[in-house]
Amino acid sequence: MRPIGPIRLNVAAVLVFCVGCTCAYRLNIIGEISLVELLLPAIGIPLIFARGWQIGAERRFWRVLVALLLTLAGYMLSDYVCDSPPDQYLRGWGRIALVITDFVFLSVIIAHDRRNLWWFAAGLGLGGVLYLRLVHHFPLPMWKFGVFDDGQRTGYSEYMVVGFAAFALLLPPRLASLGFVWLGLMSFHYDFRSHGGICGLIAAVMWLKADRRGERAARPNYFRWLVIGAALAGSLYAVLRMTENDYTLQRRTASDVGRQFGLEVGLRAVLASPLIGHGSWGTARELATIERQVGREDFVDSEELLSYSGNGMSVHSEILQSWVEGGILGASFFLYLGLLLIKLFRAACLDRPLDPLTPIILYFFAYGGWDLVNSPFAATTRLHLALAAAVLVMVSAEITTGRRALRAAWRARAAPAPGHM
């Protein structure tokens, strides 16, 4: 796998950057939608005719797309069987359709030039931070959540980190690694545990790869990685304890109990109907019954946990939620994405050379894995899903290109020299 070339400004780069800057602006069209999701086709369609559709030669692109179409089919089948109301299934199908279009056009944009991923991430980070600061005047302590007048919730954390990931390798790699440590400590300070852990993971990988900038990593020293992993886990635990107070303890306990409650409800719902789901947004009556049963049996003081209110249940796992709502077909994309994250972990995180895309790939790789098991399938994670899938397809295409170049070199060596027929 070759590192990307120098970051250069051109028309496509400017357009991709500007589209990324619109990520924080949201509209309500049936459901919540980010302006960037409406603008991606405007950039992606012209690039199809300018080398972008070479992504069509990558088999994993088509496999991800098929998995997404199977997920959509699973939701449609489940909504038909459950007779879901139109206002629910239109939002449910639209949510998946947007992941499909986001993934396709992000893949096309990145295939046109891998450096477009850098420009898009830079736009996401810079545009998000400026929007929160200049439009809504949020102070920095609104790190995890800030509430807009229209009820939207977001904060500086994700925009700040993805922006720093884009500009990180303008610094020496180990100094950039310390920058991620600082961002992780900020996340723990403002009680955003998952984000702090992701920043710590990026910092550790960046530190370990710092000596091989622009080169393919040597065969990983697994003992060294194990020691670093244990040190990272110990450090995260220590930071959690150091940042613990009455407020954070109460909030973390409530969060953990809520996740446990949703997990148990989701597992029972899947066991009750593993093939056909309960319909988009989980508003079926049987789900309300399961929630009340779990609340009575396992959560004595859990009336406040019963999330059923006509707006659907909350399962903090995209794999489990999609299975509950769309059945086994509905979970197809999420299961396949998880398989790809495991299969391409070494190539994306260990073998790939250190270049300006490295921290961006690590960010969306880590967030993609976290969301699959610990985040709901909602508007706030839709772009993360598409970016994680597009990044994995890009890494897969890099592997394919490398193998083709290697085979071509072998054939050139094996071919007889002129005059030696």
**Least confident among 43-47, 59-63, 150-154, 230-234:** 150-154
More confident residue, 404 or 33: 33
Q: What is the pLDDT of residue 248?
A: 61
Q: pLDDT exceeding 70 applies to what percent of the chain?
A: 76
Is a pLDDT exceeding 80 seen at residue 162? yes
Calculate mean pLDDT across residues 175-181.
Answer: 91
- The CA R_g of the chain, rounded to the nearest whole Å, is 22
Print the SS3 string covering 385-421.
Answer: HHHHHHHHHHHHHHHHHHHHHHHHHHHHHHCCCCCCC
How high is the pLDDT of residue 155? 84
Each residue's pLDDT tens digit, 265-313: 888 888 888 899 888 877 667 777 787 777 776 655 544 444 434 445 5
What is the mean pLDDT of the segment spanning 370-381?
Answer: 86
pLDDT score for 167:
93
- Give the pLDDT mean for 73-100: 90
pLDDT of residue 75: 94
What pLDDT score was predicted for residue 3? 77
pLDDT band per the 50, 70, 90 thresholds, residue 240: low
Residues in contact with 306: Cβ distance below 8 Å, sequence separation at least 6, in sequence order:
291, 292, 295
Residue 409: its pLDDT value, please? 64
* Segment among 26-35, 252-261, 296-305 with least mean pLDDT: 296-305
More confident residue, 165 or 267: 165
Report the pLDDT averaged over residues 384-399: 94
Q: What's the pLDDT tens digit per position in 188-239?
A: 888 788 888 899 889 988 888 876 654 454 555 566 666 666 666 676 666 6
Highest-scoring range by mean pLDDT, 86-100, 151-165, 259-273: 86-100
pLDDT band at 245 (very low <50, low <70, confident <90, very high): low
**pLDDT value, residue 320:** 92
Chain segment 405-415, per-residue pLDDT in tens: 666 666 677 66
Query: At residue 58, does pLDDT exceed 80?
Result: yes
Of 51, 48, 29, 49, which Cα lies nearest the Cα of 38?
29
**Which of 264-272's residues contact partners 24+ apart within 8 Å by CB, and which partners?**
264/294, 264/298, 265/290, 265/291, 265/294, 265/313, 265/315, 266/313, 266/315, 266/317, 266/320, 266/321, 266/323, 266/324, 267/320, 268/293, 268/294, 269/313, 269/324, 270/320, 270/323, 270/324
Residue-averaged pLDDT of the chain: 82
- Who has greater pLDDT, 412 or 162? 162
Provide the pLDDT for residue 233. 67
| Predicted pLDDT of residue 1 | 67
In 3D, which of 71, 60, 129, 123 has the Cα closest to residue 96?
Answer: 71
The model's pTM is: 0.86
Express each pLDDT in 121-142 by its tens digit.
999 999 999 998 888 888 877 8
The pLDDT of residue 307 is 43
